[in-house]
Chain A
Amino acid sequence: MNRRRAVPALLGAVVLACLAGPLLHRPVPADPVGGALLPPGSAVVVLTLADGRTLVSPAARPSPDGAWTLRRGGAEETVPPAAVRSAVRRRAWLGTDRYGRDLLDRLLRGGRISLAVAGAALALSLVVGLGLGLASATGPRWLDTVLMRLADAWMAFPMLFLLILLVALFRPGPVSLVAILGASSWMGLARLVRGQALALRERPFLQASRAMGSPWHLRWRLHYLPNLVGPVAQETALRLGDLIVAEATLSFLGLGIQPPTPSWGSMVAEGQAVLLSGWWVATIPGLAIALVVLLLAAAGDLLQDRVGPGTA
């Protein structure tokens, strides 16, 4: 299939699945006794009992009289027909974790949070980066020097150490996480925007526009912004991948999204405890991160091909 179509389509599918998936997919209910650590693709029987309990078992046999015999946690159990309110067959497509939670459901919900945090952080860094980059390019000389030195100093920090320092000082939570991730990722964008704007300023069409005495807002709307869109879009795609990995790393280290809320990083961390008995718990969310990062990199490449180096 054509890369030009496949990459945006796949990316869109991932985002849509994360946004709408939890509403469409009916998960296997969590049963820590009978449904823990089921391998991917396991077929289970979900029994809803009259007293409101839900039992999950991969090995359940109905009797002709309506009773159910099931194996849960190593023990055989027989449920009389009167106690059973409903029995459905479900499939745990991606397996379950050690609390019996459906991993596909958690993957989709976790993706929603991971993508939302990274997306919000990206929006923040876009605003800050664009603002500071433009201020640096068009403002007085001293401002430019100060801002660019600041960006240098910020970039000298190894990103993860900076993030951990800030999280340790400001306590983790979705909002502070967005603020911290956004505040520590604007430098590349600011430099890019500054460089592009400075290069644009000397181009003949902008000199002409200035010579004609066109007002500054017109110059911005007609000349600067349209020419900045391409490079910024490409940088944005790559930056989003970085932010997703950064959020996942923090959550993996227990410093990001806090349990029981799922995020791809903390799901990998939960899988670390059951690496041998349930390899899929850690493997699957990591694959999801890698897939999204690679898709975003491919999208960045496509954007570069499209806007090309000749626009700036």
Chain B
Amino acid sequence: MSRLILRRVLVAVPVLWLVVTATFLAVHAAPGSVEDLVADPSLSPAARLAIREHWRLDRPLGEQYVRWLGAVAAGDLGVSFLYHQPVATVLGRALGPTALLAGTALLLDLLLGLAVAVVSVRRPHGVADRLLGGLSLLLWGMPPFWLALMAVLVFSLKLGWLPPSHMASVGAAALPPAARAVDLLRHLILPAGVLALAGFAATARYLRAALLDVAASRHLLAARARGVPPRRLFWVHTLRPALLPVATLLGLAVPALVSGALVVEVVFSWPGMGRVMWTAATARDIPVVLATTLLAAGAVLAGTLLADLLYAALDPRVRESV
């Protein structure tokens, strides 16, 4: 097991290095010089020169690259132009809300996918299967940002059931903890729900295929021949082995989740990483954009790694083959 972890981490490191290098090159290949990005365009030439020297932009590109790599490796991501605060501080504030949103969405995604798949395989190609299949396909085809707006339109503006944006109501800080939690939950339902609805189709489709696969296997035939009751046959003998690939699915869901969270955060004014990145991109706050990109790539790699490890931990066959 530890050998597997080591191997996977060793594979992830060069990929992360490539990502970092590509971002460095992209920043330097962008039109205009780096000090244009860093500084106010109305500065005097002398001040520009001072900035060039301060940021060591007058040094050869190779040297700058090594320095930058060293700084990133040490966790120094620079200072945000927009907030005049270290990037780490800006991102630290946004990490919690994003984790809450993405975590809830992932959970809903899995539960919804599981429910749809279980109902679908009761009678493959039956009415429920077709209906649910069509519905998930429809939701899959809708762009998430639009789905989010439609949810706001229906559930906040027309019906008035849920708040349309932000993480807390005005004055929520003064409420007792229990009321504050309920308030947060009410704000969480729409964004997390939209994110889950936009993503569950893939989960459901994957699980449905896995369930049908297991249903056709010999161990199930043997179990039936032994006289295992149908309920147990499904919930234990079919569902458990079919749930294994869900571990892989978790890893695959991370990139879509990270991108989807960005859009949903923007629509719902959710104060998370995606919104920070979007604000930074529109204001050309390059250090923050770079840092969020690296972090997102890191999250994707970590997600894939975690999924592989989970799979290995759950499935003895995989564990032994590596």
Report A's interface with B, CB cutoff 8 A: 149-150, 152-154, 156-162, 164-171, 241, 245, 248-249, 252-255, 265, 268, 271-272, 275-276, 279, 282-283, 286, 289-291, 293-294, 297
Given A164-B277, A165-B281, A168-B286, A158 and B296 contact (CB-CB distance below 8 Å): yes
Tell me if B301 counts as interface (CB < 8 A to partner A): yes
CB distance from B101 to the nearest CB of A (A): 15
- Contact between chains at A158 and B146 (CB < 8 Å): no
Tell me if B33 counts as interface (CB < 8 A to partner A): no
Q: Which residue of A lies closest to B144 (CB)?
A: A249
Q: Which residue of B lies closest to A171 (CB)?
A: B31
CB contact list, B120-148 vs A, under 8 A:
137-138, 141-146
- Contact between chains at A286 and B143 (CB < 8 Å): yes
CB distance from A154 to the nearest CB of B (A): 8
**B153 contact from A160, A170, A279, Cβ within 8 A:** A279
- Contact between chains at A169 and B259 (CB < 8 Å): no
Majority SS at the chain A contact face: helix
Q: Which residue of B lies closest to A153 (CB)?
A: B18
Q: Tell me which residues across on chain B come within 8 A of A166, comparing CB atoms.
A: 26
- Contact between chains at B263 and A156 (CB < 8 Å): no
> B139-176, CB under 8 A of A: which get 1 and which 0?
00111111001101100010000000000000000000
Q: Which stretch of B177-185, B212-220, B287-295 is in the interface?
A: B287-295
- Contact between chains at B262 and A160 (CB < 8 Å): yes
- Contact between chains at B301 and A156 (CB < 8 Å): yes
- Contact between chains at B293 and A161 (CB < 8 Å): yes
- Contact between chains at A156 and B19 (CB < 8 Å): yes
- Contact between chains at B146 and A282 (CB < 8 Å): yes
Other A-B pairs beyond A156-B15, A161-B259, A168-B280, 15, CB < 8 Å = A150-B18, A156-B19, A156-B300, A159-B259, A160-B262, A164-B262, A168-B284, A168-B289, A170-B31, A253-B145, A282-B150, A286-B146, A290-B143, A293-B143, A297-B141
CB distance from A148 to the nearest CB of B (A): 11
Q: Tell me which residues across on chain A come within 8 A of B292, comparing CB atoms.
A: 161
CB distance from A57 to the nearest CB of B (A): 27
